Amino acid sequence: MYVEKICKGDVAKILSSGYLASKEPSPIGPLPKPGGFVVKPGGKGEILLDCETIKGARAYQFEYKGINDTVWITKTETKSKLLLTGLISGQEYVFRVVPIGASDVRQYSDEINSFVL
């Protein structure tokens, strides 16, 4: 880090000093559709949403809505699981998740319908 700072990022100078230059970060590109997405009942008015961890995902956008609603409610989490609370018991909801990365292209999971206890 010291050598890179003194050389002001000049790769030729860094390499001539005998040190290796830091690898330039490169974007991963569009993230894949989340696999293993499951919806598990929690306590009364609760649902646990969980999907497989995706390399390159900075966060996960979990979305849900009532079965007859048109507007999705969004919750963002840095982990691949989320416990939703405050849902209406006995109501059916639709759930989905999408990983968020460097690319603006989003691939949503399959939607899952579930009743809340």
The CATH number of residue 57's host domain is: 2.60.40.10
Residues 94 and 48 in one domain: yes
Q: What's residue 25's pLDDT?
A: 57
Residues 9 and 63 in one domain: no
Q: What's residue 95's pLDDT?
A: 98
Residues 2 and 42 in one domain: no
78, burial (CB in 10 Å: exposed 0-12, middle 13-18, buried 19+)? exposed
What distances in angstroms separate CA 49 from CA 5, 36, 97, 98, 102, one per listed residue? 44, 10, 9, 12, 23
Task: Tell whether pTM > 0.85.
Answer: no
Residues 5 and 39 in one domain: no
What distances in angstroms separate CA 101 from CA 20, 29, 39, 44, one per listed residue? 28, 8, 23, 33
Please give the chain's pLDDT, 117 residues, in tens: 677 777 777 778 777 877 776 666 566 788 999 999 999 998 999 999 999 999 989 999 999 999 999 999 999 999 999 999 999 999 999 999 999 988 888 999 999 999 999
Residues 40 and 69 in one domain: yes
Structural domain of 16:
1-26
Residues 13 and 51 in one domain: no
Whole-number Å distance between alpha carbons of 84 and 117? 12
Number of structural domains (the chain) is 2
Q: What's residue 27's pLDDT?
A: 62
Q: What's residue 22's pLDDT?
A: 67
Residues 18 and 57 in one domain: no
Q: What's residue 7's pLDDT?
A: 73
What distances in angstroms separate CA 35 from CA 38, 101, 114, 116, one per listed residue? 9, 16, 18, 22
Residues 13 and 52 in one domain: no
Residues 38 and 56 in one domain: yes
Residues 12 and 40 in one domain: no
